[in-house]
Structure 1
Amino acid sequence: MHHRTVEELMTRDVVRARRDTSFKELARLLEENDVTAVPVVDEMDRPIGVVSEADLLRKSADQADPSGLTPVPHLEAWERAKAEGARAEELMSAPAVCARPGWTVVEAARLMEVQHVKRLPVVDEADRLVGIVARADLLRIFLRRDEAIREEINRDLLRGTLLLDPRDVTADVRDGRVTLSGIVEFKSQIPVVEQLCRGVDGVVSVSGDLTFRTDDGREAPTGT
C-alpha cells in the first residue's frame, strides 16, 4: 500500500515572516495571500514560531469597548504580552510545531491533534522550511475516487499483502465506505483484514459480513 506523505500534500510556496516583521505587515501578508497563518523564520530559514489570525486578534480583544457595554476580557500574562506586541517575534506562538516531508497523513494528523494546532510548517534535515501542511490538505485524501480505493484494497491489500483468493474475499467501496464480503480461512483473520482496510488512504469506514472456515479462537480440548 502507498500512504500519501506530507510532501505530496503540502504547500511548497510558503508565505513567511521574519522576527522583525511588523504587526501591520503581518496583517497584510495574511490578507493578500488569503492565508490564516504564517511561519516565522530565523536567518537560516528555520521556523521559530507561527503567527495566526488569532494571535493578531488578541490586540483587538484587549481594547476597551468605546460604548462601555463589553468588558475587557481577562488575559493571562503571556496573552497580554502578545496583545501588546508589535513584531512577529512578540506575537507568534512558539516554538513552531513542525513536520517532516516523509511523514504519513496519520503522523501529521496525530501531531496536530496532540499539539492543538491547525497547520504544521514542514522542514528538511537541516530544519529549513520547505513547505506547510494544513488540516484541509490532510483531508484531501478523502477525495480519492472510490475506484482507486477499491483497486488498492482488492489488488494490493487482499491479494498482494494478505494473499487471499479473489474468489473468497472482495471489497466494494461507495463514498469511501468499504464493505467486505466473503470467507477467510481463520476467524482471527477477520479483525486483521478490517484493520488493514481502515489504514488505506481515503477509507471512511469498514463494515461487512466476513465468515470463516475455522474458529481458531476456541481452546483445544484437554486430554483426560
Structure 2
Amino acid sequence: MRHRTIGRLMTREVVSVRRDAPFKEIARTLSQHRVTAVPVVDDGDRVVGVVSEGDLLRKTADASAPGDLPAVPDLKAWERSKAAGTRAEELMSAPAVCARPEWTVAEAARLMEVQGVKRLVVVEGDDRLVGIVSRRDLLGIFLREDADIRLEIVEDVLGSTLRLKPDSLAVEVRDGRVELSGRLPFRGMLPAIDRMCATVDGVVSVSCARLTYDVDDTGREGGRS
C-alpha cells in the first residue's frame, strides 16, 4: 500500500521560538507569520512545548474586568500560572503533541482526535524539530486523482496483496467513491477487500454490493452466488 507519510505532507519551514522568548515577541511572531501557534525549542532545536494564541489570551482572560463587565470565572490554578507568565517556557503547553515523519495520515489524524489538537509538531531523532502538519495538510490526500486511486487498488490491493487475476474484478472510482463488481472465489474475501480498499489514501467510500462469489466459506445462509 502506498500510504502518504507525514514527511511528505508536512510544512518544513516552521516558525519557532526559544524558551526565553518574551510574551510580546511571541505575539509578534504569530501575527507576522499568520500562524496560530509556534513550537518552543531549546538550544539544540529540540521541541519542548507549543505556544498558541489561546495560551497568550489567558493573560487577558485573567485580567481584572473593567467597570461593570463580569470577570471570566473559575480559571484553574495551572491556567492562572500560565496567565502570569512572561516567557515562552512559562506560557507554553508541554509536552508538545508530536508526530514522526514516517507516520501515516491515519496515525496522525487519530492522535489529533485523541488529543483534541489541530496540528502536530513533527520531530525526528531526539525530538529535533523538522516540520509541522495541520488538519488541512492531512485533507490533501483527498485531492488525489481517481485514476491514481484506481491504479493503487488494482495493482496493490487486488493484485499484489490478494493475488486476484487482473480481469476478475472491475473497479470504478468517482470522486473518491470506489465501486467494485465481479466474481470472487470465496465469500470470506468480501470484508478484507472492503477494509483494504477503504484504507487507500483518498478513498471516500467503498461499495461491494455488486460483488458475487463462487463458494460461501463463511457458513452463512443466503448470498450472492
TM over 0.5: yes
Map residues 137-152 of structure 1 onto 2, 5 A cutoff. Answer: 137-152=137-152
In structure 1, what is the Cα distance between the partners aligned to 2:142 and 2:59?
Answer: 37
Choose 11-20 or 66-75, whichever is displaced more. 66-75
2:212 corresponds in structure 1 to 211
Separation of aligned partners in 1, 2:147 and 2:67: 59
Report the residue type matching 1:158 in the other structure: L
Structure 2 CA distance, aligned partners of 1:75 and 1:105? 35
Aligned equivalents of 1:73, 1:12: Cα separation in 2? 40
- In the alignment, the residues of structure 1 paired with residue 54 and residue 181 of structure 2 have an alpha-carbon distance, to the nearest angstrom, of 48
Q: Percent identity?
A: 62
**What are the ranges of 5 or more consecutive residues in structure 1 without an aligned counterpart?**
220-224
Q: Spell out, residue by residue over 1:168-198, the C-alpha distance to the aligned partner (whole angstroms, 9 max, x if none).
A: 2122111111111111110000000010001
Choose 80-89 or 114-123, whichever is displaced more.
114-123
Letter in 2 for 1:105: V
Q: Is the 8 A contact 2:100 2:124 kept in 1?
A: yes
Q: Is the 1:188–1:216 contact (alpha carbons within 8 Å) kept by the matching residues of 2?
A: yes
Q: Number of paired residues?
A: 219
SS of aligned partner of 1:121: strand
What amino acid sits opposite 2:187 in the alignment?
Answer: K
Q: How far apart are residue 67 of structure 1 and its match?
A: 4.1
Residue 191 of structure 1 corresponds to 191
1:222 aligns with none
Partner SS, residue 98 of structure 2? coil
Which residue does the alignment assign to 1:23?
A: 23
The match for 1:33 is: 33
Alignment of 1:113 with 2:85, yes or no, is: no
What is the alpha-carbon root mean square deviation over aligned residues?
1.4
Structure 1: which amino acid aligns with 2:44? M
CA apart distance, 1:63: 2.4
Residues 9, 138 of structure 2: 8 Å contact kept: yes
Deviations 1:90-137 (A, max 9, x none): 110001121111111111111222222221111121321111111111
Length-normalised TM-score, structure 1: 0.93
Map residues 175-186 of structure 1 onto 2, 5 A cutoff.
175-186=175-186
Q: What residue number does 1:164 align with?
A: 164
Unaligned runs of 5+ in 2: 221-225
Task: State the distance in 2 between where 1:180 and 1:70 align.
Answer: 60
**Residue 7 of structure 2: aligned partner:** 7
Supply the distance in 2 between the matched residues of 1:122 and 1:135 (Cα, whole angstroms).
13
Looking at structure 1, the residues matched to 5 and 186 of structure 2 have their Cα atoms a distance apart, in angstroms, of 34
Please tell me the residue identity of whatever aligns with 2:33: N
Q: Corresponding residue for 1:74?
A: 74
The CA distance in 1 between the partners of 2:16 and 2:198, in whole Å, is 36
Distance of 1:176 and 1:48 partners within structure 2:
39
Decide whether the 8 Å contact of 1:61 with 1:73 is kept in 2.
Answer: no
Q: Which moved more, 1:186-195 or 1:199-208?
A: 199-208
State the distance in 2 between where 1:19 and 1:71 align: 30
Residue 45 (1) aligns with residue 45 (2): yes
In the alignment, structure 1 residue 88 sits paired with structure 2 residue 88: yes
